[in-house]
A and B are shown apart, each in its own frame.
Chain A
Amino acid sequence: MIWKILYFIWNSGPLSKVAIVLVKAYQVGLRPYFSTGCYFYPSCSEFALGSIRKKGIVKALPGILGRILRCHPVGKRSHQNVMIELP
């Protein structure tokens, strides 16, 4: 598993590398203390990792930002359930 992550980081562009490390750092260091649960499945950070893996950070960024910006309790739709949005 850890090799997989390292291989994945190795194989990405420099910007994507930075982004992946940041997201991973968030998952390990910040999420346990701050997370309030995600409205989506998979969670925003996993979605981010997935789409960086697929398209690279530059193309993935708008989607990731859009997703995070929609992930809050205020809005037209009442979030009764977790929504499934795969990267």
Chain B
Amino acid sequence: MEKRVILAFLLSFLVLVGWEALFPSAKPVPVQSNNSLITHSSSTDHSLNGKTSKLESRVGGSEDVNPRHSKQKTTKLTTRLFKLSNSVLDIEFTNQGGGGISKAELKGFFETPEKKSLYRLFHIVEATPLLQVQGLVGVSCDILHPDVEQSSKSKLSFHYRCGEQGSFSIIYVIGRQYVLDVSYDFTQLAAAENKEFWVSFPANLLDRPTRSSVNQEEFIYGHSDDQVERVSLTAEQADISVNQAVQWVAFGDRYFFVGVLSPDIFKPKINVEFKKGENWATHLVLLKYLIPHDLSRKTSLLSTQLYLGPKDQKQLSGLGTMGEVIDFGFFGFIASPIYSFLKFMYAHVVSNYGIAIIILTILVRLMFLPLTLKGMGNMQAMQRIQPELQKLKEKHKDNREKLNQEMVGLFRAHKVNPLGGCLPILIQIPVFFALYTVLMNAVDLYHAPFFGWIQDLSGKDPYYVLPALLGIAFFVQQKLTPSTVDSTTQKVMMVMPIMFTFFMLNLPAGLNLYILTSTVLGVIQQLAINRRAASIS
């Protein structure tokens, strides 16, 4: 018997190790690659002509490839930084690499629960800023040396000259909350009509190796037909090649994202090609805009919206289908009301997400209480008659009819009449998983304190107190729960609390809190039933 216990331990250890082997949490290792997605001129001396002609040749199907960083060696451009900010956002722009966004910080969020430094959404130190201009196909423009003009604290313009043909500008206006309006003005450039205009996203935008492994970085884009595609940026991801019309493109992690929403009039297309074995960091995601042909008649600018901020449903409400970056998974239809309820509790009842989670858990358990109570009583009755059942089985081994009759009699005598059944379990489990996804993904829990040592419900418990308590609670629960299974399975089940504890170690404290509350309630329930059963017999 002891051997079997050891075996069970070994097997469960194997499962743990196997899991890590099958789904490793490692990040892709940065590898320097010369295979850039975009073509560039190798020297800035002919940047004006060289760049656009390269772009043309690329469009024409040439495989001529020149990495941007080789060009940087010859560039001596003094870095100038510009800043736009509102009450929630600090955005830094650079003139490097032809201009773009180099840094974004969120004023309402912090890097650590101690709230020392602002949350840095991204900080690009190489000369490949966000929304870098890659060129106008077929028109020669100096896209590396823009004139920058900051007209107010909330408005910044980049003007690019295109020789004799005119010029175009990009105007950044910081708007409401987390939205930056990015407008492209081609009204001074007649040659731009019907041409493709390319801007880029660096693919390693949110790459933060210092963050924990529960980060879940994703590249998400919304098709023009409202379909949403998610590509998780992990080492295991296979090659990606996308070249199609989109409404929006976003890079996100579990709680925050950066996304561009473009109007249909632009006919935006994205071009992504990631090859396995190379590093995400060396790639760019291209946004290709088709400039309308009736440019001169367009009075308004071609405007896009850049969202930089938390995955918060309320903030995203005005941004169309981009709201779908928030993903509560398969059981989203159950998760959404749970999430709303949690937010309501926080806003109007308790103003502590930890307590809100506890109340939510109690309510969910109460909802299923009638079913659970009956089920537990039934399991007890089943366990009581288990030995007799075995005897009957031995006795009527060959006579199935007789066995059935005797068993029915036995059940009747011991009042085994279940109320619930197996189907309700299938209803409870989705609720459980929905709660799990909500507590795993809700940005509201980011750095939300509970009490004492738990200052961040979205991070792991720093002293592993909750997972340890959870293990104990599981163990007690299992000791109390009557079981109809054989002794080996029971032995395996004794290992489960240990496995659960290991499993929960690095998961968010909020999630631990929910499962702990749920288990403790289960133990209390079981104690009550056991007492009742004892008083009956």
Contacts and interface: CB of A to CB of B under 8 A. Distances in A.
Contacts of A28: 489, 492-493, 496
B117 interface: no
Interface string A48-68: 000000000000000000011
A80 B422 contact: no
B425 interface: yes
A19 interface: no
B371 interface: yes
A36 B372 contact: yes
A43 B422 contact: yes
Q: Which of A32, A45, A79, A80 has the most CB of B within 10 A?
A: A32
B424 interface: yes
Interface string A21-38: 000000111111111111
B500 to A, nearest CB: 8
Contact of A30 (B404, B424, B429, B481): B429
Interface string B472-508: 0000011001011111110011001000000000000
Contact of B416 (A33, A34, A67, A82): A82
B476 to A, nearest CB: 12
A43 B422 CA distance: 8
Contact of A36 (B416, B425, B492): B425
A81 B408 CA distance: 7
Contacts of B486: 1
Contact of A41 (B411, B421, B432, B487): B411
Contacts, number: 104
B417 interface: yes
A84 B400 CA distance: 11
Contacts of A68: 422-423, 426
Contact of B422 (A2, A71, A81): A71
Interface string B365-407: 0000001101101110010000000000000000010001001
User: Contact residue range for chain B?
Assistant: 35 or more
Given A35-B375, A81-B417, A41 B407 contact: yes
Contact of B421 (A2, A29, A30, A71): A71
Contacts of A1: 4, 486-489
B411 A32 contact: no
Q: Which of A2, A29, A34, A86 has the most CB of B within 10 A?
A: A34
Contacts of B481: 32
Nearest to B426: A68
Contact of A2 (B8, B377, B423): B8
11 contacts: A1-B488, A2-B8, A27-B485, A32-B478, A32-B483, A44-B422, A71-B422, A72-B422, A73-B421, A82-B416, A82-B417
Interface of B: 4, 7-8, 11, 371-372, 374-375, 377-379, 382, 400, 404, 407-408, 411-412, 416-426, 428-429, 432, 477-478, 481, 483-489, 492-493, 496, 519, 522
Q: Which 10 A-B pairs have the closest CB atoms?
A: A36-B420, A36-B375, A37-B378, A37-B418, A71-B421, A72-B423, A71-B422, A1-B488, A44-B422, A82-B411
